[in-house]
Structure 1
Amino acid sequence: MLKAEIRKQALKDRLLLNDSLYHALNESLLKQFKTLNFSQIKNIHIFLPITEKKEPNTFLLIEWLSKTHPEIKIIVPKADFETALMTHHEYLGKDDLKKNLYNILEPQKGSLHEGEINMVIIPLLAFDKHGYRVGYGKGFYDRFLQDINAQKIGLSLYPAIEKIDDVNEHDIKLDFCITPTEIIKL
């Protein structure tokens, strides 16, 4: 399937999830996330969920990390839609977040992080068995991931699809993908 078709179907499927199932899937994602090895992780970049699009609730991961691994610095993105680039900021808590024009939560006062990033939790609509992902099509994460040497971990409410047919040279492969039932090494 082509990315445009996958994107359309994945968005439709997510929006059809009832609140109870959505909550249960997120709890299962958290359970899988807790099994990752954080011993060498000094900082982790995590996307903030667009709840209207029923993205995985990364606040569950952030809250667990804050309690269990307070030594790990949590970094969150801020998107510039004119350049299609992101900046990365220290997470200071929910009170520091504000929705932008696209309804995406972004940090307001968190200091800019320009240092190393050890792990990136990546949003996606779907992913395939070869480690490629379908996002919203703007390329923010592909550009960001090109120049860093970090574990690249997708977060998906659904299992892998067989194959994305229109992968291109700018698409960055995931190392792992967390689903509600397993962590898939790609």
Structure 2
Amino acid sequence: MTNKEIKKDIRRNVISYLKETDKYSAEIELLKSLFQSTEWQQADSIGVTLSMDHEVSTENIIRFALIENKKVYVPNCDYKNKTMDFVRFHSPSDLYKDEKGILAVKHPTEVNNEIDLLLVPGLAFNREGYRVGYGGGYYDRFLSSFKGQTASVILDAQLMKIPVDDFDQPVHKIITEKRIITGVRR
């Protein structure tokens, strides 16, 4: 099997697992570890996805960041050019579902691609910080020039052996409900 085929199988299996798993108690542990991390405490700006139903929820991450007066930025994808920028999030009332059915900010006014801490989503990760996303390459392209801190909050079951391609970009830190792993990103 090619790396592309293996990643496709991983995506299918992990999405199925996440849809069937009660994540509530694990998410509490994830949030505790994230909010106690130095990266979180030192960050004035946070980049975070608006999670889909099967993913670890980012709703409370966003809420807590706003309570702490951190600036929150969420991805805004240009599907035609396969690029992504981070735009300021103020309120859930600013959101709509884009052409792919993904939550996005209706009228983005402030773009910031130099976020202090970027929480990178993914379906599967290895212990070196590399990930399998949804296959569009948006985060790998973005991370190839991103200079800030990166972390991912995932369930421990999402850690596994994955194929790594030349264009893949790792994260600095992986936080699960059971452990914190420092990646290889420099």
How would you bin the TM-score normalised by the shorter chain?
A: 0.7 to 0.9
Instruction: Indicate yes or no: 2:21 matched with 1:24.
Output: no
Alpha-carbon distance in structure 2 between the residues aligned to 1:61 and 1:12: 24
Structure 1: tracts of 5 or more residues without a match? none
Q: Following superposition of structure 1 onto structure 2, how do residues 87-106 of structure 1 map, counting pairs within 5 Å?
A: 87-106=85-104
Q: 1:60-88: CA deviations, max 9, x gaps?
A: 11111211x21x21111111222221121
User: Which ranges of 4 or more aligned residues in structure 1 deviate by more than 4 Å?
Assistant: none
Say whether the 8 Å CA contact 2:73–2:88 is kept in structure 1. Answer: yes
Shift of 1:103: 1.7
Three-state SS of the structure 1 residue aligned to 2:30 is: helix
Q: Give the 3 Å change call, closer, same or farther, for CA 179–39 of structure 1 in structure 2.
A: closer
Aligned twin of 2:181:
184
Q: Partner residue of 2:45?
A: 43
Select which of 8, 18, 29 maps to 1:14: 18
Residue in 2 that maps onto 1:111:
109
Structure 1: distance between partners of 2:160 and 2:94: 39
Number of residue pairs aligned between Structure 1 and Structure 2: 178
How far, CA to CA, are the matches of 2:36 and 2:131 in structure 1? Answer: 22
Q: Please give the TM-score of this superposition, normalised by the length of structure 2.
A: 0.88
SS in structure 1 of the partner of residue 171 of structure 2: coil
Q: Percent identity?
A: 29
Deviates more, 1:24-33 or 1:155-164: 155-164
Contact 1:177–1:184 at 8 Å: present in 2 too?
A: yes
Give the aligned partner of residue 148 of structure 1. 146
